[in-house]
Amino acid sequence: MSDITKQSLSDLVENIKSKKLSSSEVTKAFVERSEKSKELNAYITEDYTNALNKAKKFDEKPNLDLKLPGIPMAVKDLFCTRDLKTTAGSKILNNFVPTYESTVTQNIWNEGAILMGKLNCDEFAMGSSNETSFFGNVQNPIDKNLVPGGSSGGSSSAVAAQLTPITIGTDTGGSIRQPASFTGTVGLKPTYGSCSRYGIVAFASSLDQAGPMAQNVKDCALLQEVISTYDEKDSTSIDFKRNEYSKELTKDIKGKKIGIPKEYRVDGMPKEIEDLWKKGIEYAKDCGAEIIDISLPHTNYALPTYYIVAPAEASSNLARYDGVKYGFRAEGENLIDMYEKTRSEGFGAEVQRRIMIGTYVLSSGYYDAYYLKAQKVRKLIKNDFDDAYKKVDAILTPSTPSSAFKIGEKTNDPVSMYLNDIFTVPVNLAGLPGISIPAGHDAKGYPLGLQIIGKAFDEQNILNIAYAMEEKINFKNNITDWWIK
């Protein structure tokens, strides 16, 4: 089979199970394509030799009952992988080799998948363009000069460019859904508590969630089924009955009530986004869904709330990087000097900015005015969704306020960069699941995504809606392999 890397995850699984393909053939194909695609800078760490050895071992004694039998996969470099360097895109973790494995990646290897390498991301997942990575920006396979989104930009680029059949990212304010939207791929941010946070480098603990990124909805459902487990090692992991999402996937969404929140029609939103949204509504109707206008009145306050809550938690989580037990150290005249130099030289500008914001809003005299205030507004935002879900089963919005922007276009203006997450951040604040599916192109031919937001723990429902709409949309990604010489 010549075009192995063009196959979907579901097809690859089927072909390995029916012995039409071996794990070695599949792994070799993705390794070769990854090697030819260095220009995209999607990988931080390559582990190809080990991957090929593991594939060979798998083929010697294949267990074909597994859900991901011998499937090669690269993952975001925010997941700790035992004995393989894990950097979180930061200089401060440049030489960190974890002694443990994240639960989410362990679940993936338990189902037979094989690690190919670690994918680039914004430093500590703080960014919307992958430009804050210590390891350089990543190119969007759609166009050389475009960002792939962020923070899971290496992941979105690698899936869109078919360097890995599927991958996992993390999403704190849109870091799975926004890059999926920018690259014409599918990305699911599960309900908070659905996937274990154990072994994921922490950014903002009350918002962080891992989730699948894929070429299509069915693949996404299959990976979600693998990674979502209750885990006693994460105190916020929730013990609920998880579906076999891929098996229970259906295009029958007749009678489902889908809400359209008027507050998402933001000032200055390009007409293309508005048009895409209207088209999305028509697609949903064609699938038999009932469209209902709803209101989420506090939408405009979500981003300011996020930019207090997330940096506050980050400043606390990142206090551990002190140059003593692991990671980068800058020498200093005394202990305090060493800490200050280590953190000043080890963290990039955006991370330092967020630590400073977080430290400020938590500092004596400002806590009530900022942090407590933000927690209260967060409650109002969650209440908006609770009220809406009395009337509807899911909510349909655009994924992002624009298509992918150019590398360097927004790096000097943090606030304009933050505005990218305007449609995704409320979902994290309320702890809900959201999926972005590719739904069309703008005038330049760049992909645009639609987001479907669900009730807590209702991943199956939004996957079903996405699955039904995907068929109607019939999206085709324009990728020309320009980076392969």
Q: Which residues are catalytic?
A: 76, 151, 175
Select the residue interacting with another protein from 19, 53, 100, 254 (CB under 8 A). 100
* 8 Å CB contact between 130 and 121: yes
Residues of this chain, 51-80, that bind another protein according to CB under 8 A: none
Q: With binding defined as CB under 8 A, does residue 242 bind another protein?
A: no
Q: Is 109 exposed, middle or buried (0-12, 13-18, 19+ CB in 10 A)?
A: middle
Size of the site for another protein (CB under 8 A): 71
Q: Toward another protein, which CB reaches closer, 69 or 193?
A: 193
The DSSP secondary structure of 212-235, one letter per residue, reads EEESSHHHHHHHHHHH----TTST
* 8 Å CB contact between 35 and 192: no
Distance CA 137, CA 130 (A): 6
Instruction: Output the smallest distance, CB 418 to another protein, in A.
Output: 8
Instruction: Output the smallest distance, CB 382 to another protein, in A.
Output: 6
Select the residue interacting with another protein from 17, 257, 265, 353 (CB under 8 A). 353
Select the residue interacting with another protein from 69, 174, 327, 398 (CB under 8 A). 327
- The first and second tokens of residue 419, run together, are 């505005």
Dihedral pair phi/psi, residue 13, rounded to 5°: -60, -45
Instruction: Output the smallest distance, CB 332 to another protein, in A.
Output: 6
HEC sequence for 116-145 = EEEECCCHHHCCCCCCCCCCCCCCECCECC
* Binding region for another protein (CB under 8 A) out of 28-36, 253-261, 284-292, 349-357: 349-357
CA atoms within 13 A on the CB side of 85: 17
- 1-7: list long-range contacts, CB under 8 Å, 24+ apart: 1/25, 4/29, 4/30, 5/29, 5/30, 5/33, 5/162, 5/163, 5/165, 6/162, 7/165
Q: With binding defined as CB under 8 A, does residue 363 bind another protein?
A: yes
Instruction: Output the smallest distance, CB 254 to another protein, in A.
Output: 31
* Binding region for another protein (CB under 8 A) out of 13-21, 161-169, 326-334, 469-477: 326-334
Q: With binding defined as CB under 8 A, does residue 303 bind another protein?
A: yes
Residues of this chain, 371-400, that bind another protein according to CB under 8 A: 372-380, 382
* 8 Å CB contact between 157 and 139: yes
Q: With binding defined as CB under 8 A, does residue 338 bind another protein?
A: yes
Residues of this chain, 134-153, that bind another protein according to CB under 8 A: none
Distance CA 222, CA 228 (A): 10
* Binding region for another protein (CB under 8 A) out of 173-181, 182-190, 220-228, 427-435: 427-435
**177, containing H or E segment:** helix 177-183
Distance CA 270, CA 398 (A): 11
Select the residue interacting with another protein from 14, 32, 274, 337 (CB under 8 A). 337
Q: Toward another protein, which CB reaches closer, 305 or 400?
A: 305
* Binding region for another protein (CB under 8 A) out of 25-33, 64-72, 172-180, 428-436: 428-436
Instruction: Output the smallest distance, CB 369 to another protein, in A.
Output: 9
Dihedral pair phi/psi, residue 373, rounded to 5°: -60, -45
Dihedral pair phi/psi, residue 447, rounded to 5°: -70, 150
Instruction: Output the smallest distance, CB 467 to another protein, in A.
Output: 26
x-or-dash pattern for another protein, window 156-185, by CB under 8 A?
------------------------------
Nearest to 180 by CA among 209, 158, 202, 205: 158
Select the residue interacting with another protein from 301, 401, 442, 473 (CB under 8 A). 301
Instruction: Output the smallest distance, CB 455 to another protein, in A.
Output: 12
Select the residue interacting with another protein from 72, 165, 187, 193 (CB under 8 A). 193
Q: With binding defined as CB under 8 A, does residue 310 bind another protein?
A: no
Q: Toward another protein, which CB reaches closer, 195 or 276?
A: 195
- The first and second tokens of residue 397, run together, are 């919005």
